[in-house]
Amino acid sequence: MTLTPTRKPDQVEIPVPAELLIREAHQKTRRRRAVYAFVSLGIAAAILATMFSSSFNHPATRTLNDTLASEVALGPPRCVATQLHLSGVEANGAAVSAGWIVRLRNPGDNGCTLSGYPSVQGINQWNGAVLTAAHTRNSYIGGWNSTKPVPTVVLKAKGGVASFLIDFVTNNNYRACPYVTRLRVSIPRSTTVFILKARLQVCKFFQVHPFVPGLTGGNL
């Protein structure tokens, strides 16, 4: 009688219940992370879309007179020389101090601003020498008499004005000091030079003060 060996069946590894629970927990954690990542991306995309829509699709805010709000905040642009007409007149002096007021008018259709100091040179009639006026805030007879910063002057369209004062110490002796009969004047950031006729006996302290509103060359 021949005996045939009986082959044992392959053993199957059956996970214990604890391992099943751990695997299931890991799978749930991975699914939750995937869901959170997807939701976060969706929220970020929505925020970006809203921002771009607000920036590019919404019209600029305007005031009641249809002026851009940003333009109102910034004000008119800086004046250029071609916008302005200049004239000069003698200022009221005191003792040995004398002065000359330069007035700037904007006859154009657009407003503009002036701030800071003009550049002023005087031409001596006796020898052609050039005198350069020093920038000072004020003097005995005028200028910007305030501890506040020098103003930004708005020259409205069709007639807005500003002014500045030139002053100096004079002398009763006609030929004792330089006699300025021409002034070279330029405004900030401009290479254009205005030539004004004048009559200034400049012995010393030739100086120019900031632009101010109005026609008097000062704020008092």
Domain ranges within the chain, ordered by starting residue: 17-58, 81-213
Alpha carbon distance 174, 197 (integer Å): 18
Partnered with residue 101 across adjacent β-strands are 89, 165
Positive or negative: CA dihedral 178, 220, 188, 135: positive
Structure confidence at residue 62 (pLDDT): 40
Widest Cα–Cα separation across the chain? 159
Q: Which residues of the chain have pLDDT under 50?
A: 12, 54-72
Alpha helices of the chain — where are they, by DSSP H? Answer: 17-57, 69-74
216 φ/ψ angles, rounded to the nearest 5 degrees: -95, -10
Question: Which is nearest to 206 in space by CA: 102, 136, 108?
Answer: 136
pLDDT value of residue 15:
52
The span from the CA of 119 to the CA of 184, in Å, is 8
Retrieve residue 5's tokens.
Answer: 């060996």
Give the CATH architecture of domain 81-213.
Answer: Sandwich (2.60)
